[in-house]
Amino acid sequence: MQLVRPGPQHLASYVAALERDWSADNERGVEAAHEELSRIQANAAAFLASMEDREAKGPPVTLPDGSMAKRVAGFKRWLWDGEFSGSIGLRWQPGTTSLPPHCLGHIGYAVVPWKQRLGYAKSALRLILPEAKAVGLPYVEITTDPDNIASQRVIEANGGIFVEHFIKPQQFGRKRGLRFRISFT
């Protein structure tokens, strides 16, 4: 498994995952998958270009409650083993480690269900950490749900240290969350 910058040669496999109602958006799920399919059908090249937005020039992001929020700098990489296997994204605000309240962590990832339990999330997180350091972050924070033991293990396997229990903002339903930190020192 490797991380790839999303390109035209990967798009058909990504579309196939979306058509199976998979989405990297673990909050909005199928709705987010259908929105991405619409964006791809409307302009595939623009969709692929939007996967790399280091200057936060893209449109606002839709939050789980339907509200909109300003985009932060970021990019996505796709997990690839000959076919689309998942997605991992890095987001940040240049010059600071802080993130706006609507952005729960620097890194988010999701593996398609038919490729889970193969170590792909663990490898993807390991592979994206040097890119996080390269954009100037001294550490990354990653959040997960208290019942997502698999994600907690992925984070801990990559040096993540538990920081705190927290309550997600209203846009995320005020659910409980866990925050971890991976430092680059």
CB 41 within 8 A of CB 35: no
For residue 55, the number of C-alpha atoms closer than 13 Å in the C-beta half-sphere is 2
Query: Quick one: tokens of 42?
Result: 């409307």
Q: What is the pLDDT of residue 31?
A: 87
Q: What is the pLDDT of residue 130?
A: 97
Residue-level pLDDT, tens digit, the chain, 185 residues: 999 999 999 999 999 999 999 998 887 788 889 999 999 999 999 999 999 999 999 999 888 888 899 999 999 999 999 999 999 999 999 999 999 988 999 999 999 999 999 999 999 999 999 999 999 999 999 999 999 999 999 999 999 999 999 999 988 889 999 999 999 97
Residue with tokens 């989405």: 23
Q: Could you give the CA distance from residue 48 to residue 62 in angstroms, rounded to a whole number?
A: 18
Give 172's DSSP letter: G
For residue 174, the number of C-alpha atoms closer than 13 Å in the C-beta half-sphere is 1
Domain locations in the chain as residue ranges? 2-183
Q: What is the pLDDT of residue 25?
A: 83
Q: Could you give the CA distance from residue 57 to residue 75 in angstroms, rounded to a whole number?
A: 12
Residue with tokens 């749900």: 145
> What CA–CA distances, in Å, run from 46 to 22, 25, 77, 94?
21, 19, 16, 24
Domain at 2-183, CATH homologous superfamily: Gcn5-related N-acetyltransferase (GNAT) (3.40.630.30)
Q: What is the pLDDT of residue 83?
A: 97
